[in-house]
Amino acid sequence: MGAKEYRKVKQRIINPICLVVLACTVLLGLTGCGDRQAVGDSTGTPVVLKLEGGDWGFPDPWKHYSRGPGGYKMELIFDSLLEKDEKGLIPWLAEKWTVSPDSREYTFTLRDKVTWHDGQSFSADDVKFSFDYYRDHPPVWNELTVDGKFIVEKVEVMDGRTVKIRVDSPNATYLERLGSMRIIPKHIWENVTDPLKFNAREAAVGCGPYVLEDYNSQLGTYRLTAYQGYWGPRQKVAAIEWVPVSDPVLAFEQGEIDLLTDDATPDILSRYENKEEFKIMPNQPFWGYRLILNMDKRPELKDVNLRKALAYGIDRQEMVEKIARGSGIVDSMGFVPPGHIWYNDQVARYAFDAEKAKALLDGKTYTFDLLIGVSSQEAKTGNNTSRDVKIGELMKISLAKIGITLNVKTVDTKTRDNAVKNGDYELAVTNHGGWGNDPDYLRDYYGSSTTNDRSSPASGALPGYFNQEIYDLCQKQMRQLNPEERKKTIFRLQELIAADVPQIPLFNTVDNFVFRPAKYDGWMFRYDHNYMEHCKLSYLERAQDE
Q: Is residue 393 part of a domain?
A: yes
| pLDDT tens sequence across 485-511 | 999 999 999 999 999 999 999 999 999
Q: Is residue 86 part of a domain?
A: yes
Look up the pTM and report it: 0.84
**Residue 160 burial (CB count, 10 A):** 13
Same domain, 411 and 449: yes
**Mean pLDDT in residue range 229-253:** 97
pLDDT at 38 > cutoff 70: no
| pLDDT tens sequence across 147-157 | 999 999 999 99
pLDDT at 451 > cutoff 80: no
Same domain, 534 and 497: no
∠ Cα 57 527 225 (to 5°) = 40
CA 426 to chain centre: 25
pLDDT given at position 376 = 64
Q: Is residue 464 part of a domain?
A: yes
Same domain, 212 and 89: yes
Q: Please give the backbone phi and psi of residue 539, each rounded to the nearest 5 degrees, phi first.
A: -105, 5
pLDDT at 40 > cutoff 80: no
Same domain, 226 and 327: no
Same domain, 301 and 155: no
pLDDT at 18 > cutoff 80: no
pLDDT given at position 12 = 31
Q: How far apart are CA 61 and CA 190, in angstroms?
A: 15
The percentage of the chain sitting over the pLDDT mark of 90, rounded to a whole number, equals 81
Same domain, 501 and 528: no
pLDDT at 453 > cutoff 70: no
Detail the DSSP E strand segments found in 92-151. Answer: 94-99, 105-110, 145-146, 149-150
Q: Is residue 437 part of a domain?
A: yes
Ranking 78-92, 142-156, 454-468, 500-514 by mean pLDDT, the lowest is 454-468
Q: Please give the backbone phi and psi of residue 435, each rounded to the nearest 5 degrees, phi first.
A: -70, -15
Q: What is the total count of domains within the chain?
A: 2
pLDDT given at position 2 = 38
Q: How far apart are CA 140 and CA 542, in angstroms?
A: 30
pLDDT at 4 > cutoff 50: no
Ranking 49-63, 384-398, 488-502 by mean pLDDT, the lowest is 384-398
Q: How far apart are CA 351 and CA 335, in angstroms?
A: 15
Burial class (CB in 10 A: 0-12, 13-18, 19+), 246: exposed
Name the β-bridge partners of 532: none
Residue 409, domain CATH: 3.10.105.10
pLDDT at 5 > cutoff 60: no
pLDDT at 296 > cutoff 60: yes
pLDDT given at position 263 = 84
| pLDDT tens sequence across 341-385 | 999 999 999 999 999 999 999 999 999 999 999 876 655 555 566
311 confidence band (pLDDT: 50, 70, 90): very high
Q: How far apart are CA 409 and CA 160, in angstroms?
A: 56
Same domain, 220 and 135: yes
Q: How far apart are CA 539 and CA 525, in angstroms?
A: 12
pLDDT at 30 > cutoff 50: no
pLDDT at 170 > cutoff 50: yes
Q: How far apart are CA 110 and CA 57, in angstroms?
A: 30
Same domain, 214 and 335: no
Ranking 76-80, 212-216, 322-326 by mean pLDDT, the lowest is 322-326
Nearest-CA neighbor of 59 among 89, 91, 30, 94? 30
**Mean pLDDT in residue range 238-242:** 98
Q: Is residue 417 part of a domain?
A: yes
Cα atoms in the 13 Å half-sphere on the side-chain side of 181 = 26
* Cβ contacts of 143-147, under 8 Å, gap ≥ 24: 143/176, 143/177, 143/178, 143/180, 143/181, 143/454, 144/177, 144/178, 144/181, 145/453, 145/454, 146/171, 146/173, 146/177, 146/453, 146/478, 147/443, 147/448, 147/449, 147/450, 147/453
**Residue 52 burial (CB count, 10 A):** 21
Nearest-CA neighbor of 475 among 504, 502, 442? 442
The percentage of the chain sitting over the pLDDT mark of 70, rounded to a whole number, equals 88
**Mean pLDDT in residue range 54-73:** 95
Same domain, 305 and 230: no
SS3 483: helix
pLDDT at 72 > cutoff 90: yes
Same domain, 439 and 327: yes
Q: How far apart are CA 62 and CA 59, in angstroms?
A: 8
pLDDT given at position 542 = 87
Q: Is residue 511 part of a domain?
A: no
Cβ proximity of 409 and 401 under 8 Å: no
Average per-residue pLDDT for the chain:
90
Q: How far apart are CA 217 and CA 20, in angstroms?
A: 7
Q: Is residue 281 part of a domain?
A: no
Q: How far apart are CA 114 and CA 123, in angstroms?
A: 8
Same domain, 330 and 183: no
pLDDT given at position 7 = 38
Q: Which structural domain range is residue 432 located in?
A: 287-506
Same domain, 168 and 301: no
